[in-house]
Amino acid sequence: MAVFEYTRPVAGTRGLVGQISALFFDAVASIVSWNDARVTRNSLSGLSNRELDDLGLVRGDIEDIAQGAFRR
């Protein structure tokens, strides 16, 4: 007896549930990333200029570090 499986999506595509879950996980990842940047920004902003200098940073570097774009 032959069996046909109709529930398997075509390679390279996602079903509706897959698309909804991907959207949900992308939203959660964006919120986590935003919160990490916020915590980093607040922590570094709370340091004195002397403490930042000890780390080799200046106040202008804080936003780049929070966004993960800091290169030195």
Q: Is residue 7 part of a domain?
A: no
Q: Is residue 69 part of a domain?
A: yes
Q: What is the pLDDT of residues 4-41, one digit of tens each?
A: 666 666 665 678 888 899 999 999 999 999 999 999 99
Q: Is residue 6 part of a domain?
A: no
Residues 6+ apart with CB under 8 A from 52: 44, 58, 59, 61
pTM above 0.85, yes or no: no
DSSP 8-class letter at 9 = P
Q: Is residue 10 part of a domain?
A: no
C-alpha 1/C-alpha 20 separation (Å) is 35
Residue 42 has pLDDT above 80, yes or no: yes
pLDDT at 9: 60
Count of structural domains, the chain: 1
Q: Is residue 3 part of a domain?
A: no
Domain that holds residue 60: 31-72
Q: Show the tokens assigned to 15.
A: 């079903």
